[in-house]
């Protein structure tokens, strides 16, 4: 009798294992018979340096980052292939497989030579806000991005039956990944605490978004404030809690944990972004979109693009060595694990594919560098623009010859220079001579002479990949490693250096094998790899390569 019971148990266990294996391997068949996953999920962690995959790994659960690494495929030496390494350019590159020189997204904003004005990456005056009384927050679309995305090509391949939706606190983190033909992109309005969109996508919010906004989930996160997830003395990977070189985003009276957020309820909705709960809220609306739009439930593969912006806001304010950043990643790991479990339940384990990356890394706070006798310092582009304008006015007797210092470049007032028949080369030479004397400057040169300028090939290629003539300046500045364009508190990013350009690149789920590669790969390789997996055309500006090792 015992032998029969044992045999029955073995049979039952075998059947269960077979059933689980069958679920994992059952493909989603598109209407044309091509095997694809039910859902593609792109996750961009804003300002996540590669080392954050491991920096707090002894405190990560087995469900979040570790699950992706232990079951998925990681490209350990993935780099951004251009400068400047900033948010809009990163999101555009990941989803287009392209670079600013092709897709036109040369920064979060730029001076446009044709329009003769400053242009924000996703601004679109031709559309209106949907879901917000502040019209400017909703006047957004992907029109400034000049190429297609993964989602656009997926929609084209399925005759627009696939659904593509983007969500992020930042409009650019939602709009650019979702692409031109997306069904929707939703972003967070800091004035109202609502998730909004624009008339580019729809004339009114779906009921589920209206209901989500009505719940005022932001106030619920404010209720308990922000304290460390674990006892503060256990945060051994970080500096002391209170540092003079950290910002005070919650008020001058709040300089360390715990942070009281309840006072922001019902009136200040922007502060949520500089807490880990901004990421939690983004996952909340991602789940709501998954459920209400029935993503992964149709006959074709759908796509959900998620950008997690709070890591960037926290990093800018407190720096990568702060307790605030450590706590944000520990909480993000838990949120990520919860979201993966949610996908298992709603879509089915083995039925979806996830890729996780970052739009850029981050530099150490200069004050932290000095504290630890490491090289680094400050450069202030706003002050430098004033100096250059004063200098050129004195020499050429004309005011405001420099109109912008966007993206580590000097932009000249070309219409004024042309109308007055000034010597443009003499103006450029004057600016370069002044910039060369600055402590922060490693090199400065006229952009038209980039190919002749003695630079390491990798650095030169990154700058060339970031050059789009009508949206770039005349002079390129290259700061020394460790130097940032900023103030005495907080930090930023944007340079070619590894701390800004070395990013995570992890694939997981349907069609992905377990493993890793240490060969050099690039941010622009994500899009062609995913489109190869889906057996669809790569985006129209893609110049990346398929990472063949990723796929089964």
What is the H or E stretch that residue 229 is in?
A: none
Alpha helices, H only, 362-501: 366-371, 381-396, 414-419, 424-436, 457-465, 498-501
Which token pair is 411?
Answer: 């932009």
Q: DSSP label at 364?
A: P
- Active-site residue among 74, 83, 85, 87? 87
DSSP helix/strand/coil, 57: helix
Query: Taking a C-beta distance cutoff of 8 angstroms, is the pair 389, 401 a contact?
Result: yes
Residue whose C-alpha is closest to residue 224's, from 273, 272, 288: 272
Q: Cβ(74)–Cβ(93) under 8 Å?
A: no
Residue reference for tokens 């991005």? 145
Q: Which residues contact 523 (CB under 8 A, 6 or more apart)?
A: 78, 79, 80, 81, 90, 93, 94, 357, 503, 505, 544
DSSP 396: H
CB atoms within 10 A of CB 469: 10
Tokens of 202: 């729809």
Q: How many angstroms separate the CA atoms of 363 and 499, rounded?
A: 6
CA distance 72 to 66: 9
Contacts by 446-455, CB closer than 8 A, 24 or more apart: 446/474, 446/475, 446/476, 447/409, 447/472, 447/473, 447/474, 447/475, 447/476, 448/474, 450/476
Return the percent helix, strand and coil in the chain, to nearest 5. 40, 20, 40
Distance CA 51, CA 385 (A): 35
Residues 40/301, Cβ–Cβ less than 8 Å: yes
What is the C-alpha to C-alpha distance for residues 453 and 156, in angstroms, rounded to an integer? 42
Pairing of strands 129-130, 194-198: antiparallel
**Phi, psi at 185, each rounded to 5°:** -140, 130
- Residue 510, helix vs strand vs coil: coil
User: Judging by DSSP bridges, how do beta strands 164-168 and 129-130 pair with one another?
Assistant: unpaired
**87 carries an active-site annotation:** yes
Q: Give me the active site residues, please.
A: 87
């Amino acid at each position: 009798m015992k032998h029969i019971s044992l045999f029955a148990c073995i049979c039952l266990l075998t059947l269960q294992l077979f059933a689980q294996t069958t679920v994992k391997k059952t493909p989603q068949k598109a209407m044309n018979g091509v095997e694809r996953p039910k859902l593609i999920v792109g996750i961009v962690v804003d300002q996540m340096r590669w080392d954050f995959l491991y920096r707090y790994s002894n405190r990560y659960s087995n469900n979040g980052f570790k699950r992706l690494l232990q079951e998925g495929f990681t490209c350990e030496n993935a780099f951004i292939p251009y400068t400047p390494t900033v948010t809009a350019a990163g999101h555009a590159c990941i989803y287009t497989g392209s670079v600013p020189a092709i897709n036109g997204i040369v920064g979060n904003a730029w001076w446009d030579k044709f329009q003769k004005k400053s242009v924000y990456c996703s601004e679109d005056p031709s559309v209106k806000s949907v879901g917000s009384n502040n019209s400017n927050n909703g006047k957004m679309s992907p029109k400034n991005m000049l190429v297609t995305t993964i989602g656009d090509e997926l929609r084209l391949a399925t005759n627009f039956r696939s659904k593509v939706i983007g969500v992020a606190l930042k409009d650019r983190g939602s709009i650019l990944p979702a692409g031109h033909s997306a069904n929707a992109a939703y972003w967070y309005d800091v004035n109202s605490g609502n998730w909004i969109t624009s008339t580019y996508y729809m004339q009114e919010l779906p009921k589920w978004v209206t209901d989500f906004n009505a719940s005022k989930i932001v106030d619920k996160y404010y209720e308990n404030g922000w304290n460390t997830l674990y006892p503060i003395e256990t945060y051994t990977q970080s500096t002391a809690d209170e540092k003079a070189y950290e910002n005070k985003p919650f008020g001058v009276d709040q300089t360390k944990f715990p942070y009281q957020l309840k006072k922001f309820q019902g009136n200040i909705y922007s502060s949520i972004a500089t807490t880990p709960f901004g990421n939690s809220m983004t996952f909340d609306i991602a789940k709501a979109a998954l459920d209400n739009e029935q993503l992964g439930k149709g006959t074709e593969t759908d796509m959900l693009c998620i950008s997690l912006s709070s890591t960037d806001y926290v990093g800018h304010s407190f720096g990568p060595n702060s307790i605030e950043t450590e706590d944000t990643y520990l909480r993000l790991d838990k949120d990520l694990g919860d979201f993966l479990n949610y996908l298992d339940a709603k879509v089915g384990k083995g039925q979806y594919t996830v890729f996780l990356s970052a739009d850029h890394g981050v530099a150490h706070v200069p004050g932290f560098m000095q504290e630890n006798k490491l090289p680094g310092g400050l450069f202030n582009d706003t002050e430098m623009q004033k100096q250059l304008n004063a200098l050129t006015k004195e020499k050429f007797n004309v005011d405001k010859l420099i109109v912008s210092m966007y993206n580590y470049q000097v932009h000249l007032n070309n219409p004024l220079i042309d109308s007055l028949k000034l010597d443009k080369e003499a103006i450029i030479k004057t600016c370069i001579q002044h910039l060369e004397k600055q402590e922060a400057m490693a090199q400065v040169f006229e952009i038209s002479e980039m190919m002749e300028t003695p630079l390491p090939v990798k650095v030169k290629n990154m700058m060339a990949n970031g050059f789009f003539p009508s949206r770039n300046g005349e002079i390129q500045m290259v700061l020394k490693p460790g130097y940032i364009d900023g103030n005495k508190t907080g930090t930023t990013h944007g340079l070619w250096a590894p701390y800004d350009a070395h990013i995570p690149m992890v694939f997981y789920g349907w069609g992905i094998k377990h493993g890793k590669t240490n060969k050099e790969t690039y941010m622009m390789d994500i899009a062609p790899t995913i489109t190869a997996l889906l057996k669809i055309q790569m985006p129209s500006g893609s110049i990346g390569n398929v990472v063949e090792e990723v796929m089964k």
